Structure 1
């Protein structure tokens, strides 16, 4: 049976017909690394000793195929491993040479990947898989396929060590290489137009849409975090490596309020302020709070939600209110609602962000601004309740401090899920409520014109939230 990742650019022996020319500058693994990494910084790791049985199935012609691949590419296996710097941040690289048997994974490939992860953990370095593969190596059968379990084990150990893994996905990336090193990384960057998917083109259904197996499609499906042009890859990868390798103690400082500073007179006044289309939204807060930021996108389960912005950024000290000292240049993770009803994909993406920040020791800032969770039938079928529950749990279990600022509407449990108990603040132009006043009026079987009165009874104004002990303070005011 063919590997699900089989690629049409390999012949019957698994050798490449294009000489590994995908990616930056049409290069193989070493050329790609030369173009990507800081000049002169790459140091190859010594390869492990060859396996006792390099041809476990005694496959006819396999030795000859390997010899031809080595002659064509100058490599002795389908991966090149080593250390190098990207904009000053050193990482361990696992770079696939597609020209060597289609970048397929065999037992010696597994040996090299395992050794690279062991080196990364021993030296406290992040891991960057640069993936271009057609899948597992046919000529080694199940011995090759089980290398995926080895790769997964090493990835898990590196995660447990608190070290980030950022994959760069080239063309093509299919089969087990995508399902472990690519999709299994903490963050995944893809090159434009790359073929990406578990099913290679030889094993897809005859009516499959090829456009579904592209980097751009995987971005829309929430399976990759960004599609990055080759000339922007070094800067993008460098920023992400810097951000993810800077754990820090202490909570994220509370952002300064960007809108009104006077307090609302009535509950309905608070609601109207929060719904004002001119009120500053999440993007404005993030732009003011960070020098730069890099997005974490998608729930890794087929969905994205532009109403929930997640990622990591470098903090601007002047944007906190009285908590700036000692925080210059630190990394802070963020999950920010943008004023829309949040879908299950949005909640799952925020959970993904919280879990990753916790593993890496990076404090989290959450911004609350939603009328509530999406409540349509599509949201229910997509598991709204379970997605919200997982975010509640991620906040409750977070090993790093979470700071929350309510910047607009705070409607029901859909708004409360990303909020930190005991570490939540509110801006003067926001409200927090068990439910929107109009919906509360309907539930109480009151006439619709009673919504304003109901808003007052809900005690949802910022100053009332402080009195109730629901929030710690009002951002930007002396009582904080």
Structure 2
């Protein structure tokens, strides 16, 4: 228990045990539906040394043998100084445990309590499939004693805003939220999801330009309305885990009857690289847990400003194309509005795409096509592009038109 012979370490451990009532900073228990790992900040600031690392390994091993998810309730200042590099190497141990658990197809949900800092945030916390932050908790790689400034970025809310936390909840809501997440993550059946019903217009557009105007209408139902109509309940999955959030891409897992279905839905805006990366993360998550996926397409196209280019919009779209192509679960797509170019196609199923009567799908927006081709007749060009729902069915681009 004192691998470096640190002066006074045994006495510190004795006082920590007396203060906390536990033998180490980490404990675990097997629950009916999960194995729970819990940190006690009263025990040397929830720090992790070799004994704590061994307890975490015990918990993951038990979960894998019992085929159960892991829930990590974290409150830690990081590695234990009194054990030096032997303590720091526990991060590699934890990362390996998370990877093996993930490869086995078992869920891992982390709960970031106050505080969650240092290497355990960067391994056990951020390495989970779904990350839940407790409102007001200090969360960050740099703890309060070593970071240069005190800033809202070092909070659960700040981490949510930067795309590294999926949702932030009040302390009283943690257990209910975790139970709901586990219920959804363990209910996959890999059976194709039903096509959402059309909520807007029933008649088909007379010409291409009419189809474009209907898809751009402010009165047309948007993604939130479709998700409300389709699901009985849903939980969000937010952020690209690389510093970005795109409110124009709604991702999560919902319950429809007795089924759990993952979703990624565009809201009608030009999606940023963060949006495409979040959708790709959602699809990979669904593949691991046999969750069928529903995608709702509605975007004029990918963001094409300087910020998007610097953030790697091309690579982000490529990542989403790859996630869809590699998906081990069925993906059902409904185009509900504008289907603009590669930013729309990247979210679409190659074989199972439908469209609503008030939507269109096109290689590019008619105005941009006119600019590229140096034509002034945008209305005629919309017809030439054959972007109406009925045109797309005839050409085999979509399987059918969703009915209300």
Residue 64 (structure 1) aligns with:
11
Determine the structure 2 residue equivalent to 1:146.
89
- The 2-side partners of 1:172 and 1:249 are apart by 38
Match of 1:229 among 146, 170, 176: 170
What's the secondary structure of 2:368's corresponding residue?
helix
2:314 maps to which residue? 385
- Specify which of 384, 394, 398 is matched with residue 467 of structure 1: 394
- TM-score of the superposition, structure 1-length normalised? 0.83
Q: Deviations over 1:90-133 (max 9, x none)?
A: 11110001110110011111111111111111111111000000
The separation in 2 between residues aligned to 1:157 and 1:253, in whole angstroms, is 33
Q: What does residue 98 of structure 1 align with? A: 41
Q: Where do residues 178-257 of structure 1 align in structure 2 (5 Å cutoff)?
A: 178-205=121-148, 208-257=149-198
Task: Decide whether the 8 Å contact of 1:344 with 1:383 is kept in 2.
Answer: yes
Task: Give distance in 2, aligned partners of 1:118 and 1:389.
Answer: 36
Number of aligned positions between the proteins: 404
Contact 1:370 1:410 in 2 (8 A): yes
CA distance, structure 2, for counterparts of residue 314 and residue 212 of structure 1: 32
What is the aligned partner in structure 2 of residue 260 from structure 1? 201
Match of residue 455, structure 1, among 367, 375, 382? 382
Q: Distance in 1 between matches of 2:180 and 2:348?
A: 27
> Hey, what's the Cα distance between the residues in 2 that align with 1:215 and 1:455?
47
Give the aligned partner of residue 347 of structure 1: 276
| Match in the other structure for 1:114 | 57
Q: Tell me, in whole angstroms, the C-alpha distance in 1 between the residues paired with 2:398 and 2:152.
A: 48
Conservation of the 8 A alpha-carbon contact between 1:366 and 1:419: yes
Q: CA separation in 2, counterparts of 1:259 and 1:210?
A: 45
User: d(CA) in 1 for partners of 2:201 and 2:398?
Assistant: 18
Aligned to 1:334: 263
- Aligned partner of 1:401 in structure 2 is 330
Q: Deviations over 1:42-80 (max 9, x none)?
A: xxxxxxxxxxxx211111111110011001111111111
| 1:348 alignment partner, SS class | helix
Indicate which of 78, 90, 104 corresponds to 1:135.
78
| Unaligned stretches of 5+ residues in structure 2 | none
Contact 1:162 1:361 in 2 (8 A): no
Q: Give secondary structure in 2 for the equivalent of 1:454.
A: helix
Pick which of 124-133 and 210-219 moved more: 210-219
Looking at structure 2, the residues matched to 75 and 234 of structure 1 have their Cα atoms a distance apart, in angstroms, of 22
TM-score (norm 2): 0.99
Name the CA distance, whole Å, in 2 between partners of 1:476 and 1:404: 14
Q: Is the 8 A contact 2:144 2:150 kept in 1?
A: no
2:111 to 160, 168, 173: 168
Return the offset for 1:210: 2.4
Deviations 1:263-301 (A, max 9, x none): 111001110110111101000000011000000001111
Q: Is 208-217 or 94-103 further displaced after alignment? A: 208-217
Q: Note the C-alpha offset of 1:163.
A: 0.9
Aligned-partner SS, 2:283 = helix
Aligned residues: CA RMSD: 0.9
